[in-house]
Structure 1
Amino acid sequence: MLPSPRSESLRKLYGTHQSGNVYKVRLMLSLLDLPYEWIGINLAAKEHRSPEFLQLNPIGQVPVLVDANVNIRDSQAILVYLARKYDNNWLPIDAEYMAKIMQWLSIAANEIEHSLTALRRHFLLGVPIDRAKAERTAKQLLQVMDQHLENQPWLECHHPTIADIACYPYIYRAADSQIDLSPYPNITTWLNRIQQLPGYIAM
């Protein structure tokens, strides 16, 4: 049985270490130096479909963050919540910057999810996909990102934001997706820059 989300620690993260979407939340919590209780969810044992977990997220997906009396599901939404509550530098309130950052969160949830993430699940878990389409989408996106990063160190704002954290995990693990990053030197530099941030943790 899963622990009650209101017991013990005030901040709990439910997830699995194999998930890049969970990892981006773990990374953000570490960068913000926020302690939390880790509650592993065994997907193979269908714990994400248990009545206890479905009370936290009726969709039955990880990650889920419980922060005192606040329950947030979806990795992009959790990044927004953490940034706005604990350090606004990660998501500036300026309308233009916020909109541009949200564009990258949308890319993380769509183009990256349907290309690099899908390819990783295909090669590691045997999930059937349209491999050619996913590879084509991944390479098109990486080309766009590499050009975008040619004259700036971060995706937006000239400093790290949740845009970088949202897009980082599955690009960082591109080898799992059998995607070669050598044609994208600006992305490689950007990945290295993220790995130098204080509080960085590997997946």
Structure 2
Amino acid sequence: MASPTRRSAPSSASTRTIEPFPMTSSRVHGGWRSPCVALVLGLAWQPPASARSPASPALEKQYQQVLAQCRNDPRYRVGGAMTGECVEQETLRRDLLIDAALQRIAASHCPAVAAGLAEAQRHWQRYRSAQCGLFQAMFDNTAMYLNGTACALRATLAREADVRMLVDYAPGSAAPCQVGDVPAPVPEATAQPEQRG
């Protein structure tokens, strides 16, 4: 395999020289001994909200309002981690609202629909836990804790919108239930991680 090359600035339009790019340069290896450090630092310093693509402007507005309330609440001004606890409490409050809405939908439909709703909610909760838990798994400090709680809040706001859509677009009356009406099992996408005790 040929070594990577770098083109030098041409001395004239017709002549170009190619010199090898030194792979052991201090610019490449001297400052960052581990690519892992660069990855963690890159994830810890999030771009401004305007640079991220929110799920929707309405969800981004809700998210920013909750964060502002938590930052400005005098009960949570002790430190950054306290803001995370406020965000966690708001996420839990919204989880209860989602569960109540799903129970109302399930109560007015066949057992198959109720079972499907419960299964979808379990899958969503596992996804949110796994996805947002990655922040603290990468580096367990206050900044990553805050990123994890913010991730869970964003996911919960999006889930709340999805459940609201189920409520808003549900038919006026439920379809008649079939005898033995049970939902088809949903295949697992990945194997379950081992439980350590």
Q: Which has the higher helix share?
A: 2
Q: TM-score w.r.t. structure 1 length? A: 0.24
Q: TM-score w.r.t. structure 2 length? A: 0.25
Query: Could you say which structure has the larger radius of gyration?
Result: 2
Q: Which has the higher strand share?
A: 1
